[in-house]
Amino acid sequence: MRIVLLGAPGAGKGTQAQFIAQKYHIPNISTGEILRKLIYKNTVLNKKIDYSMHSGKLISDDIITTLIRDRITCLDCKPGFILDGFPRTIVQAKMIEEEKIDIDYIIELKIPTKIILKRIQNRRTNSIEKKIQCLQNGNYPTNNSFLAERVDDKEKIVKIRLHEYEKFTIPLINYLKNDTKVKKFKYCILDGTKNIKNIHKDIKKILDVH
């Protein structure tokens, strides 16, 4: 089962991708995570990636398509995978087509910008478990001393990320929805404002029939 998860920054893709990977036993390929691991290595290419990520811009299609092409053609991806954060542009989607990899489901998590801004401002990453945590009733679920704000979660940067989403990913969404040539995938839109468990249920309704 090959799945693509779409949605603006803060729509909850990461949380749902983890759920899908565990439930359906497929690798979770998160471009954000792959890139964040890379920037610790001090090379010219990684510095370029670091700069784009910290400024809220998308990194170049060349770099990301090479990374993801290498990853999705690995042996463990044969039974399927979940892509969180890829494709984000039409060029990236075309790479998947060129590789002749058929996607079964595209799941879009839809959520208004106002709610996104609020969510992102409140989210923290647990430096030990590497899990994203959100404010619940004014508190974070684990020990606050291990929680750090992602640099790209600062308000100014978030606005740039949302702008990149409008500029590149909305046209991609239109392209995918109108892709009459090879519409092998099922395109599903889910309400990303629902709570995590209810979104799990919506996802199960789609994927359990596979």
Which range binds ligand ADP by CB under 6 A, 49-57, 101-109, 110-118, 125-133? Answer: 49-57
Options 4, 5, 13, 109; binder of ligand ADP; rule CB under 6 A? 13
CB of 83 to ligand ADP, least distance (A): 9
CB of 137 to ligand ADP, least distance (A): 23
DSSP H helical ranges for 25-102:
31-38, 44-55, 61-72, 90-98
Options 17, 20, 53, 116; binder of ligand ADP; rule CB under 6 A? 53
Q: Is residue 57 helix, strand or coil? A: coil
134-173 residues near ligand ADP, rule: CB under 6 A:
152, 161
Options 20, 21, 35, 173; binder of ligand ADP; rule CB under 6 A? 35
Binding of ligand ADP by 52 (CB under 6 A)? yes
Residue located via tokens 């053609």: 73
Nearer to ligand ADP, 32 or 80 (CB): 32
Please give the structure tokens belonging to residue 90: 């039409």
How far is 181 from 185, CA to CA, in rounded Å?
A: 11
Q: Maximum distance among all alpha carbons in the chain?
A: 52
The Cβ of residue 9 has, within 10 Å, a number of other Cβ atoms equal to: 22
Q: Report residue 93: phi and psi, to 5°.
A: -65, -35
Binding residues for ligand ADP, how many (CB under 6 A)?
A: 19
**Phi/psi-derived region of residue 29, left when phi > 0, alpha when psi is between -120 and 50, beta in every other case:** beta
58-87 residues near ligand ADP, rule: CB under 6 A:
58-59, 64, 85-86
Please give the structure tokens belonging to residue 149: 């704000």
Contact call for residues 125 and 152 (beta carbons, < 8 A): no
Binding of ligand ADP by 12 (CB under 6 A)? no
CB closest to ligand ADP, residue no: 32
Residue numbers at the binding site for ligand ADP (CB under 6 A): 9-10, 13, 31-32, 35, 52-53, 56-59, 64, 85-86, 88, 92, 152, 161
